[in-house]
Amino acid sequence: MKHGMIVAMNEDYSDYNTQLARFYPAHLDAVRQRHDHALDHAGASHAVIFSGSPRYVFLDDMAYAFKANAHFVSWAPLLKLPLSYIVYTPGEVPRLIYYQPRDYWHVVPGAPDGYWAGQFDIRIVHNIDEVAAHLPPDRERCILIGEINDPAHAFGIDRINPTTALNILHYGRGVKTDYEIACMRLSTQRAVLGHLAAVAAFRDGRAEFDIHRAYCEAVSLTDNELPYGNIIALNEHSAVLHYTDLDRQAPKQTLSFLIDAGAQVHGYAADITRTYAHKDARFAELIARMDELQLEVVRRVRAGVDYAALHIETHRLLGAVLVDAKLARGSAETLFETGVTAAFLPHGLGHLLGIQVHDVGGHMQGESGTIIDPPSGHPYLRLTRVLEENMTLTIEPGLYAIDMLLDNLRGSPAEDHILWDGVDWLRPFGGIRIEDNVRVLADGSENLTRDAFSAAA
């Protein structure tokens, strides 16, 4: 294997924490420099980063699953630490106000410990009112970054999420540090273990819900700990792009399986999709063609490539697949120009990947916040930037029988290019998506997903 070891199921991950500890100080330096730059442009002296607060169900005392502020997680791998703050003043050791309530109803955060802890001036508080004493006294010189649902949690800081600072921080997050890339290699390896368990459950004839449970057991994550809700789709459900209903009963006849499922390590996500045929040779051949297409697109990834242009190139490649698969007729260029390829592939080629699955900054031209719109007719493309070295992103072309979109072509010049008998054949299978996590290099790419599958094999 090229980049470390595949971790076994249910392992405590302590071995790779030693690896991450080597990268973490340099990562923190990069985060500090990014905040120095943001503070300078915002005309502020201190950044206060709020982890977030629990949010409660309406008319209930039950909280939704807590999701830490991604800006907070970029400083420290603390995913389950609500009501805490990081205070950063340029030139000083960052301060962590670590909220550890006295509570016998719930498990409270333990003593701060780990490879990250020595990089902070840690102040443990047991009551939210104690936070104020550890914040900078000159509140007017502070900016606060995070979601504030209760004004009391701002502690008198008026400048909350200033656009100038956020633009700089979001744009900078597009390029990942060695620490972040190492976390995503590990999360990808973890996700691959789940994918292997899931496809075994599919081959065993299990229901979607049972396949999902097999996945969660293999990655050793609960639903709330997954980076996003797993898409576990059998047969025609694969044509629902964000299918998460999870039937409890297996279908009478299993034809196909699409799994879009990820994992996380220290908050950094993996996002992987694979599609499988049960027995149908024609559908298996179409999956193989889409796999070849996906790998061809990955081969075109390198620093300096315009990702929006790569998305358009993918549609032209897809046009040729549609013709060969007897789903459409005409030239690839005609199928692209008439909107046929967009009906079969309505989503974007991919997105930035990081702490957030759809990481921020994908449409930003620069630190000023200027937006690069997606190409006309392709509104769902989440990444339009020119690729830079050490960006980490997904490449996920698809091909689906979505009746609503195909029916929209009726009465247009595109209708005559659709081979409707082929669509009727494809409909029970739903569709195909192949998705890899890819790191951009100066002269190519590192395919985290293919490396992980190869190592697991």
Burial class (CB in 10 A: 0-12, 13-18, 19+), 250: middle
What is the CB-side half-sphere exposure of residue 248 using CA atoms within 13 A? 0
The β-bridge partners of 440 are 445
How far is Cα 109 from Cα 125, in angstroms, rounded to an integer? 11
Q: Is 2 within a domain?
A: no
Q: How far is CA 451 from CA 1, 140, 437, 446, in A?
A: 7, 49, 10, 8
Tell whether 156 and 186 lie within a shared domain: no
Provide the H-helix boundaries in 328-408.
Answer: 332-337, 340-344, 403-407
Tell whether 164 and 208 lie within a shared domain: no
From 119, 140, 172, the end of a domain falls on 172
Place of tokens 């020119």: 386
Sign of CA dihedral 12, 18, 19, 21: positive
Tell whether 183 and 164 lie within a shared domain: no
How far is Cα 215 from Cα 232, in angstroms, rounded to an integer? 10
Q: Is 1 within a domain?
A: no
From 115, 140, 172, the end of a domain falls on 172
Place of tokens 């040729």: 320
Confidence at residue 410, expressed as pLDDT on a 0 to 100 scale: 95
In this prediction, residue 7 has a pLDDT band, given cuts at 50, 70 and 90, of very low
How far is Cα 287 from Cα 255, in angstroms, rounded to an integer? 13
- The pair of structure tokens assigned to 170 is 């979001």
pLDDT at residue 13 is higher than 70: no
Q: Is 5 within a domain?
A: no
How far is Cα 286 from Cα 228, in angstroms, rounded to an integer? 27
Which CATH number covers residue 190? Answer: 3.90.230.10
What is the CB-side half-sphere exposure of residue 257 using CA atoms within 13 A? 31
Report whether 205 contacts 211 (CB < 8 A).
Answer: no
Tell whether 111 and 236 lie within a shared domain: no
Tell whether 233 and 103 lie within a shared domain: no
How far is Cα 451 from Cα 342, in angstroms, rounded to an integer? 30
Phi-psi region of 361 (alpha: psi -120 to 50; beta: other; left: phi over 0): left
How far is Cα 76 from Cα 53, in angstroms, rounded to an integer? 17
Mean pLDDT of the chain: 95
Tell whether 38 and 147 lie within a shared domain: yes
Q: Which residues fall within 8 angstroms of residue 384, CB to CB, at 6 or more apart?
A: 307, 308, 362, 363, 372, 373, 374
How far is Cα 356 from Cα 268, in angstroms, rounded to an integer? 7
Confidence at residue 9, expressed as pLDDT on a 0 to 100 scale: 37
Q: Is 4 within a domain?
A: no
Tell whether 154 and 263 lie within a shared domain: no
Which range marks the domain in which residue 346 is found?
A: 178-456
Tell whether 300 and 208 lie within a shared domain: yes
Tell whether 132 and 203 lie within a shared domain: no
pLDDT at residue 280 is higher than 70: yes
Tell whether 143 and 214 lie within a shared domain: no
Tell whether 98 and 234 lie within a shared domain: no
Percent of the chain at pLDDT > 70 equals: 97
Average pLDDT, stretch 162-178? Answer: 98
How far is Cα 408 from Cα 379, in angstroms, rounded to an integer? 17
Confidence at residue 160, expressed as pLDDT on a 0 to 100 scale: 98
Q: Is 8 within a domain?
A: no
pLDDT at residue 11 is higher than 60: no
Tell whether 386 and 237 lie within a shared domain: yes
Q: Is 160 within a domain?
A: yes
Angle, helix 208-219 to helix 178-203, in steps of 10 degrees: 140
Provide the H-helix boundaries in 204-344.
Answer: 208-219, 281-299, 307-324, 332-337, 340-344
How far is Cα 369 from Cα 398, in angstroms, rounded to an integer? 30
**Residue 143: helix, strand or coil by DSSP?**
strand
Average pLDDT, stretch 187-195? Answer: 98
Report whether 318 contacts 399 (CB < 8 A).
Answer: yes
pLDDT at residue 409 is higher than 50: yes
Q: Over the stretch 111-160, which tens digit does the pLDDT of each residue have?
A: 999 999 999 999 999 999 999 999 999 999 999 999 999 999 999 999 99
Q: Is 7 within a domain?
A: no
pLDDT at residue 10 is higher than 90: no
Place of tokens 């915002």: 42
- The pair of structure tokens assigned to 58 is 């309406």
Cα-atom radius of gyration of the chain, to the nearest Å? 24
Confidence at residue 18, expressed as pLDDT on a 0 to 100 scale: 83
Q: Over the stretch 212-267, which tens digit does the pLDDT of each residue have?
A: 999 999 999 999 999 999 999 999 999 999 999 999 999 999 999 999 999 999 99
- The pair of structure tokens assigned to 316 is 């032209």
From 172, 196, 219, the end of a domain falls on 172
Short-list 415, 425, 433, 408, CA closest to 318? 433
**How many structural domains comprise the chain?**
2
Which CATH number covers residue 32? Answer: 3.40.350.10
Q: Is 431 within a domain?
A: yes
